[in-house]
A = this chain, B = another copy of it.
Amino acid sequence: MSRGTGYAAQSLPSVIIVGGGFAGIAAAKALRKAPVKVLLIDKVNHSLFQPLLYEVAGAVLDGGDIAFPIRAEFRNQKNIVVAMAELTGIDKSSKSVHVTNWPRPLVYDYLILATGVEVSYFGHEEWATHAPGMKTLSEGVKLRSMILKAFEDAERLEDPQSHPELTTFVLVGAGPTGCELAGNLAEMFRYTMKSDFRRFSPEMARIVLVEAGPRVLPMFSPELSEKARIKLDQLGVEVRLGHAVQQIDAEGLTVGGERIRSRNIIWSAGVRATTVGKWLGVGTDRLGRIKVAPDLTIPGHPSIFVVGDAAEIMQNGRALPGLAPVAIQSGRYAGEVIARKVAGKPVSPPFVYLDKGMLATISRNWAAMELGRLKLTGPIAKLAWAFVHIFSLLQTEDRMVVFLKWFYTYLTNKRGTRLIEKPIKEERKAAYE
């Protein structure tokens, strides 16, 4: 047991997978019958179903509904050890990685990096305090508290209308996250919270969706983007296109020269790959994604794979988008390549992405769906959304319960998780009146 970790000390080739999201889990599963010892590390103990994270922020679902313990997924896969630890460095020459809370570096024969993305402020990191983003479960829960607390603060005022910054919600970035959360909040304010307050009406709260580009859902076709914009407009969301945010502070933001007073700014404008690319010292694109070869390895290092959102995977001259199906397929591919290699089988053909289309949901009975030439909007797309998300993708142990909860909210507009976990604190800015 010379290496001090047990798993690597045996004679089987060792595979270290960093990241337990869609890609990392798919890679580990593809190795289930291979004669290897797998170590999967993640800094959290759960895998998050990110496409539904906005439902946590919108108080429809709870953490346990969209996240599951990574190790529960591998209960019956005996060749894998799952550990909660964070990657802090990679040493390509000694083929080892450094992780937190571990006494020694961990040596690999194959390394799969599935480290995903994090919220990016594109050089304005100082905005993070005033405009939190949403990629992790704890960020989603924090956003929920922020949104609910704004109304609690307003209800304590004599005249909430004179303090519009409390009941103005600004979403920066009109990708799927921004659009889905905007629509979700509009419905929560209009229906769920209808009779909850006495001093103001939640349906009068402003929801502003700000986007630097010319349209919402830019990865969809222009036709669907326009339909989504109209739907958001019908829900009362103010969509502002074509202007980048110039300034964000504690009192609001400036966009296209206009000042919007708001204490509730949510950043959904962008993500970048984690710093892994820097540690590797290889080429990255402007989002920090690592440029990979057609077999998803990095140049000169055939034993290091990068998969999922962390990789820039080119296909037909374009980089694949950061979608769950891309993560799953690329992770599975890397696992299969390694399984073939250790079995001494011929070299695998390059990775080819099988397009599974795109989905975005705006309201409880409206979604947009695009798969090749097929374009759908409205309730039919929403039905497709519900089945794809809850039955095909979601892997929590009790997906039936999630479906019931979601369906219950759909039918009744009640949301049982409107909880602010932590007690209120005295604030300096209390004396509004």
> Hey, which bits of chain A sit against chain B, CB under 8 A?
1, 4-7, 43-46, 62-65, 67-69, 71-72, 75-76, 78, 80-86, 100-103, 136-138, 141, 148-149, 152-153, 155-156, 158, 194-199, 396-398, 400-401, 404-405, 408, 414-427, 430-433
Contact = CB atoms under 8 A, between A and B. Distances in A.
Q: Number of copies of this chain in the oligomer?
A: 2
B156 A101 contact: yes
A64 to B, nearest CB: 3
B43 A424 contact: yes
A84 B421 contact: no
Top 9 closest A-B pairs, CB basis? A64-B417, A62-B62, A101-B430, A84-B152, A43-B423, A62-B64, A75-B195, A69-B418, A397-B416
A138 B422 CA distance: 6
Main DSSP-derived SS at the A contact region: loop
B72 A423 contact: no
28 contacts: A1-B158, A6-B158, A43-B424, A45-B149, A45-B418, A62-B62, A62-B65, A63-B419, A65-B416, A68-B416, A75-B194, A80-B198, A83-B152, A83-B155, A83-B156, A84-B155, A85-B424, A86-B426, A100-B430, A101-B430, A102-B156, A103-B431, A141-B421, A397-B414, A398-B405, A400-B404, A401-B401, A401-B416
Nearest to A79: B198
A69 B416 CA distance: 8
A109 B316 CA distance: 75
B155 A82 contact: yes
A148 B71 CA distance: 12
